[in-house]
């Protein structure tokens, strides 16, 4: 296991290609808000939508996360820290006018992509209405 935001892990790629297949076009490895140290897995610049595909372990998925039986305290603290940081990131992005979507890696990519498409569509309307 390496960093908790390793680039191009498989669940991210699966969601990206499902989204691409639906006709969605997005950017990767860009910071939506330059001052914020966060690079979502997909960024829809026009609609201002940021998508994160969260690993069930690293982000503490309610259905799949189980604290490892060794170094229990370390992991519990680590994962809780990640969760807190995720919420903070979401808050900063939405304060900057962005819509944040978080997809669990266990979610079927095609359903995730449909959810992203619907959200991007709605968000683009809101941006246009401004």
Q: Which residues bind Zn ion (CB under 5 A)?
A: 56, 61, 63-64, 104, 106
Residue 70 carries which DSSP code? S
Kindly tell me which of 58 and 98 has the beta carbon lying closer to Zn ion. 58
Kindly tell me which of 64 and 77 has the beta carbon lying closer to Zn ion. 64
Q: For residue 111, which phi and psi values (nearest 5 degrees)?
A: -65, -40
Kindly tell me which of 64 and 85 has the beta carbon lying closer to Zn ion. 64
Chain center to CA of 57: 14
Shortest Å, Cβ 95 to Zn ion: 27
Report the alpha-carbon distance of residue 79 to residue 75 in Å, rounded. 6
Report the alpha-carbon distance of residue 76 to residue 116 in Å, rounded. 30
Shortest Å, Cβ 129 to Zn ion: 35
Report the alpha-carbon distance of residue 109 to residue 20 in Å, rounded. 11
Shortest Å, Cβ 74 to Zn ion: 21
- Residue 106 parent element (H or E): none
Continuous H helices in 28-108: 72-95
Shortest Å, Cβ 8 to Zn ion: 19
């Amino acid at each position: 296991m390496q960093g908790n935001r390793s680039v191009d892990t498989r669940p991210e790629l699966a969601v990206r290609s499902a989204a691409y297949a639906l006709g969605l076009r997005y950017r990767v490895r860009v910071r939506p808000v330059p001052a914020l140290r966060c690079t979502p897995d997909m960024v829809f610049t026009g609609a201002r939508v940021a998508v994160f595909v969260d690993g069930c372990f690293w982000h503490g998925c309610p259905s799949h996360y189980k604290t490892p039986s060794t170094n229990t305290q370390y992991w519990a603290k680590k994962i809780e820290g990640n969760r807190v940081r995720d919420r903070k990131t979401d808050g900063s992005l939405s304060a900057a006018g962005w819509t944040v979507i978080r997809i669990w890696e266990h979610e079927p990519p095609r359903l995730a992509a449909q959810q992203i498409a619907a959200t991007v569509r709605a968000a683009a309307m809101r941006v246009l209405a401004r």
